[in-house]
Structure 1
Amino acid sequence: MKVIETIKKRAKSYLHAYHEFRQESSFVRRRRPVLFDETENKFEKFLDLFTFYLCLECGKSAGDWHPTHADWNRGHHNGALLQQMSRAKKVDIFEGIMNAYRVFLNHADNPINLEEELGKAFIDTGGSAPQKDVLHRTLEYFYINQDETFIRHGIELLHRRDYRTESDFPPKSSMASMSLSEDGVTFAIDSDIIPFNTCFNHGNRWPWYYCGGCITVSDFRRLGGEIVRPGDRDHFYARSNLKVDDWCFVYQRQIERTKSMASSIDGLRESIIEIKQSGARHIEKTVLSKFFILVSMLRQKLALQGIEVI
């Protein structure tokens, strides 16, 4: 018994320390400046819900507001959405997601118990082609090119930004004057492949980490861009005459640190607002990540049911 009591006491101390850590981490997150409030992002809520209907554990965030039902087992639900999907022989994942999102918008005020409606919409995508808004065009570009190598450049001198769709991106002399960028034309780039977890994912004190234009290497070259390997650093540079409209901009909703930022936070906020107002393709980083998590899950579920992806 003494051994058991000793173990319990030690466990309590570890649990207490863990809860203190969780509270402190939450406090620190709240202190970090918000760049753009995404709490009303309907597409993100849709992604959370669809993921929740595929797997209760993977979609835990929707479980915070979606009710459970008596016929759901602990840690699982009844798979009603999967049952709807099983009727299909072939599925276009991207068009299925976007069609399901349109159904979700019709119920956005009370998005509860939509398993059957979303499942039907996902597999029944026939009819007139929908108008392609900024969200559709942005997601479509990343979806089509999910196996391609992307480059990213974010404005380095924020006071020289210009996000009008017909303007050059990046603007001349908007880059820090170092290495090949001393000419005011050549700009530094990072490279990555979706889900963007290598070179796009470091340098969180710099402005380009929080807001940058992305394009595939193949499209960049097709549009006349040139990629240059410098002799003084391990990343690449580029030159081009591309316009804002040629890029897809990925931004973040919140600063990841509380001090030692290398740029104006207000300047970053204004940049995101200007991109949104310009009509250029854009998306928040977490939303893009959740989109590809859903795409991955759908590929898995369709493969398990022997349904062809087109």
Structure 2
Amino acid sequence: MVILMVINLNTGQMRISPSAIWNLLAGKGTYTQSLVIFDFRMPRIVVTLLVGFALAIAGNVIQSTTQNPMADTSFLGINSGAGIAVMLFIALVKNQDANLFLLPTMALVGALISTVIVFGFSYKKETGITSNRMLLTGVALSGLYSSIMVLLTLKLSPENYQFVMNWLAGSIWGTSWEFILMFLPWFIICTIFIFSKMRVLDTFNLGDDVAYSLGINLKKERIILIAAAVILAGVSVSISGGIGFIGLITPNLSRRVIGFKHSHQLVLSGVLGSFLLLAADTVGKVISSTTEIPVGILVAVIGAPYFVYILMKTK
């Protein structure tokens, strides 16, 4: 992880050697180097690490509560819901620069509304919410949102169109300390809450009957935990763009390594998520230091084949 961070800090239009980075950390170096490292590259790395951790944790919660290893935030319409909210905001608000910090809020609102719609269509009084119905509804809504977004692009200027396309492809854009400070309270509250529910998450593996005998209402806990995961994922994609597959890959890998106990699994999932997103961002910068390659595309190159693999292994 540290090696990736050094490579990431070193790579870009302006090359800064590891020794120069060390001098900057020691309070030395030029003003230009300090500006590039501390105002541009360092915030991007922090956002990448936090978002990777958050998406992995959110995906872990959704997979555990639905008992479906193929569940992911992107398959519940969270990314597409946030995307359509961003497009509506850009298409309808004339002065986006003055309302830049409203953009993440709109993305979060879009993600929450999309999730509520998925829950509404997935719920049946007799059986409640089943994971298969929820995932199918999420995929169907994502297709609908994609069609609407194509129509909305006709209302965008060339500059806004390019921004939206990069956002949808998973281009990390909220790379400033101001966005990090806005993101941190949501990240801290949701993460602490989810970690406080580790034992409850373990009971989902035991089944409803065993959970009820232990005094745990899984239906209630499922809704609360998924809501926390949606908020965490919604805030994350609001500053990072529509990045998928992180929440799909990392929980499955962590379960293969250390099993189903969430006290260890959540931590490993988060670390793997941070590592995977940082690695994707670093590889993208190494491939092209002048033109940004959206990390969402690089993650999808890994995630799509892995999803097919899980689909083939799942009965």
Question: Which TM-score tier does this pair reach, normalised by the shorter chain?
Answer: under 0.3
Normalised by the length of structure 2, the TM-score is: 0.25
Judging by fraction of residues, say which structure has more strand: 1
Larger radius of gyration between Structure 1 and Structure 2: 1
Q: Normalized per residue, which structure has more helix?
A: 2
Relative to the length of structure 1, the TM-score reads 0.25
